[in-house]
């Protein structure tokens, strides 16, 4: 834009900053580095950073910043351009063992054995959709706006579907995930997780498990579809390179095949999620969520003590510990959903409204850094006044799934992002 700049980045993100600048055609961008971390430091410690040296160049940091802003660019620094990543040769030929190792060594898998995408297998996979192999499906990046987006075709998605162990019948669902543009491997320093709620007749067509153990390793469609989301995120969007495009400091085991949740519509007393989002009941839809994690709830408060379990109070209790940086995706066994109906919550919307009005925190906590990403109470609100945990009822989303062996629920601190038609990719 013609303005002198001096980007300041902590040393933990050195490779990320330099790689990202190079990918945008600025390999010699003047980046100034500080020690790491900056979070949780006192003012004195932060001033010590500024008055010290750049840990990369060894030069005094503030002098480096001033020089970056005032010294004219060299001829080499002034060069601009774009970088087009190589997609490699169209085919590879070797033994099966060597090819497995090749894919692993080049970061093209989840580091588990894959189904090798031979031409015959890819051709068979492409029969799962009516779309042309060279049609562009969408674009994806490790974080929108922060990285160049990569585009990809139906054939490229099909290759990754083969690698994940999918069958052609799964391809439309995998294409819908790819078309969403939402990576399964975010670049955030938080170790995010993603979820896809599947609705419509396709759940039975694919024989998806929405009963006992629905979110466990007891369903080939869920396992393969979720795994394909991770593998295509690595290969088609440049996501998942530790230190460059993946910075989750601890990582998240959910990323292996993500949360694929087919809703148990038959046993649910409520409207299916996709109908809530504006689709028809007979349509096949994937609704995507992103957040931190999912954890087991405690059934209903008073279960075994009170005559009527207070499921709504238990859900409110289990939503609180996470922090409202995201919304709440609440996964209820049909027994819980039926119990809530008996308590007067005839619809998901009624339950969301009750939770929004009755789940509260102090205004002081709501003003903290953790809560600022969601909303901040008015300045004149007393610190000890209790305010709604979420500002909007639609921050709470509900899915009914499970085998009715016990009235339990799970809560994921995840926010709804988008619903994508699966039918359009059939």
Token readout for 151 is 């585009």
Q: What is the pLDDT of residue 39?
A: 83
Q: How confident is the model at residue 46 (pLDDT cuts 50, 70, 90)?
A: very high
- Would you mind telling me the total number of residues written for the chain in this entry? 426
The predicted model gives 39-68 an average pLDDT of 94
Residue 328, phi then psi, degrees to nearest 5 = -120, 120
Q: What is the pLDDT of residue 363?
A: 81
Angle between helices 61-70 and 43-51 (to 10 degrees): 60
Q: State how far the alpha carbon of 234 is from the alpha carbons of 223, 229, 245, 287, 327, in Å.
A: 17, 9, 10, 21, 26
pLDDT, tens only, 242-266: 988 898 999 999 999 999 999 999 9
pLDDT, tens only, 186-202: 999 889 999 999 999 99
Residue 342 CA to residue 196 CA, distance in Å, equals: 28
- Asked whether residue 369 carries a pLDDT value surpassing 50, the answer given is no
Q: How confident is the model at residue 13 (pLDDT cuts 50, 70, 90)?
A: confident
- Asked whether residue 52 carries a pLDDT value surpassing 60, the answer given is yes
Residue 341 CA to residue 353 CA, distance in Å, equals: 14
Q: What is the pLDDT of residue 300?
A: 64
- Asked whether residue 373 carries a pLDDT value surpassing 50, the answer given is no
Chain centroid to Cα 207, Å, comes to 25
Residue 157 CA to residue 138 CA, distance in Å, equals: 10
> Sheet holding 259-262: strands in order across?
259-262, 193-199, 285-296, 409-421, 328-332, 396-400
Give the lowest-confidence range in 213-222, 281-290, 310-319, 398-407: 310-319
Burial class (CB in 10 A: 0-12, 13-18, 19+), 203: buried
Q: How confident is the model at residue 372 (pLDDT cuts 50, 70, 90)?
A: very low
How many other C-beta atoms are found inside a 10 Å radius of the C-beta of residue 91? 8
Q: Percent of the chain at pLDDT above 70?
A: 94
- Asked whether residue 326 carries a pLDDT value surpassing 90, the answer given is no
pLDDT, tens only, 110-153: 999 999 999 999 999 999 999 999 999 999 999 887 788 899 99
- Reduced to 3 states, what is the DSSP secondary structure of residue 49? helix
How many other C-beta atoms are found inside a 10 Å radius of the C-beta of residue 239? 24
Residue 250 CA to residue 256 CA, distance in Å, equals: 14
The predicted model gives 281-295 an average pLDDT of 95
The predicted model gives 194-215 an average pLDDT of 97
Closest by CA to 333, choosing from 219, 414, 410, 218, is 410
- Reduced to 3 states, what is the DSSP secondary structure of residue 219? coil
The predicted model gives 405-424 an average pLDDT of 94
pLDDT, tens only, 122-131: 999 999 999 9
Q: State how far the alpha carbon of 411 is from the alpha carbons of 153, 261, 317, 373, in Å.
A: 35, 13, 10, 20
pLDDT, tens only, 55-106: 999 999 999 999 999 999 999 888 877 777 777 788 889 999 999 999 999 9
Q: Which residues contact 56 (CB under 8 A, 6 or more apart)?
A: 11, 14, 33
DSSP 256: G
Closest by CA to 79, choosing from 6, 166, 21, 153, is 21
- Reduced to 3 states, what is the DSSP secondary structure of residue 358? helix
Q: Which residue has the higher pLDDT, 417 or 24?
A: 417
- 258 and 225 Cβ atoms separated by less than 8 Å: no
Give the lowest-confidence range in 51-65, 311-325, 376-390: 311-325
DSSP 114-174: -----HHHHHHHHTT-SS-TT-EEEEE-SSTTTSPPEEEEHHHHHHHHHHTT--GGGHHHH
Average pLDDT, the chain: 90
Residue 102 CA to residue 107 CA, distance in Å, equals: 9
Residue 410 CA to residue 399 CA, distance in Å, equals: 10
How many other C-beta atoms are found inside a 10 Å radius of the C-beta of residue 172? 22
Q: What is the pLDDT of residue 304?
A: 54
Q: State how far the alpha carbon of 64 is from the alpha carbons of 8, 68, 73, 74, in Å.
A: 10, 6, 14, 16
- Asked whether residue 385 carries a pLDDT value surpassing 80, the answer given is yes
DSSP 217: S
Half-sphere CA count of 252, side-chain side, radius 13 A: 27
């Amino acid at each position: 834009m013609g303005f002198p700049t001096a980007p300041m980045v902590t040393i933990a993100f050195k490779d990320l900053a330099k790689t990202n600048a190079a990918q945008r055609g600025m390999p010699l961008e003047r980046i100034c580095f500080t020690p790491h971390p900056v979070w949780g430091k006192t003012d004195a410690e932060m001033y010590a950073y500024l008055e010290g040296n750049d840990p990369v160049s060894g030069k005094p940091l503030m002098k480096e910043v001033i020089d970056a802003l005032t010294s004219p660019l060299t001829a080499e620094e002034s060069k601009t351009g774009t970088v087009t990543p190589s997609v490699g040769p169209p085919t590879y030929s070797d033994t099966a063992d060597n090819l497995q190792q090749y894919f692993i060594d080049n970061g093209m898998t989840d580091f588990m054995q894959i189904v090798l995408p031979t031409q015959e297998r890819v051709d068979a996979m492409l029969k799962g959709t009516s779309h042309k192999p060279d049609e562009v499906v969408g674009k994806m990046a490790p974080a929108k706006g922060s990285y160049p987006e990569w585009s990809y075709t139906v054939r490229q998605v099909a290759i990754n579907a083969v690698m994940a162990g999918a069958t052609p019948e799964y391809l439309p669902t995998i294409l819908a995930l790819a078309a969403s543009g939402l990576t399964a491997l975010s670049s955030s320093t938080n170790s995010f997780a993603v979820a896809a709620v599947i609705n419509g007749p396709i759940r039975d067509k694919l024989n998806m498990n929405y009963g006992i153990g629905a979110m466990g390793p007891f369903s080939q469609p869920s396992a393969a579809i979720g795994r394909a989301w991770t593998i295509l995120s690595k290969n088609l969007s440049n996501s998942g390179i530790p230190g460059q495009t993946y910075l989750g400091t601890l990582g998240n085991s959910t990323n292996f095949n993500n949360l694929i949740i087919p809703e148990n519509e038959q046993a649910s007393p409520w409207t299916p999620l996709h109908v809530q989002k504006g689709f028809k009941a007979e349509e096949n839809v994937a609704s995507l969520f992103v957040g931190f994690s999912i954890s087991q709830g405690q059934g209903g408060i008073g279960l075994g003590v009170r005559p009527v379990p207070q499921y709504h109070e238990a859900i409110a209790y289990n939503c609180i510990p996470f922090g409202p940086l995201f919304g709440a995706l609440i996964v209820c066994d049909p027994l819980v959903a039926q119990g809530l109906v008996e308590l007067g919550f005839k619809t998901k919307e009624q339950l969301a409204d009750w939770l929004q009005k009755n789940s509260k925190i102090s205004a002081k906590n709501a003003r903290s850094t953790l809560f600022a990403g969601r909303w901040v109470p008015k300045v004149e609100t007393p610190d000890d006044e209790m305010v709604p945990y979420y500002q909007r009822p639609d921050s709470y989303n509900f899915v009914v799934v499970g085998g009715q062996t016990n009235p339990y629920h799970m809560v994921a601190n995840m926010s709804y992002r988008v619903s994508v038609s699966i039918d359009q990719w059939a």
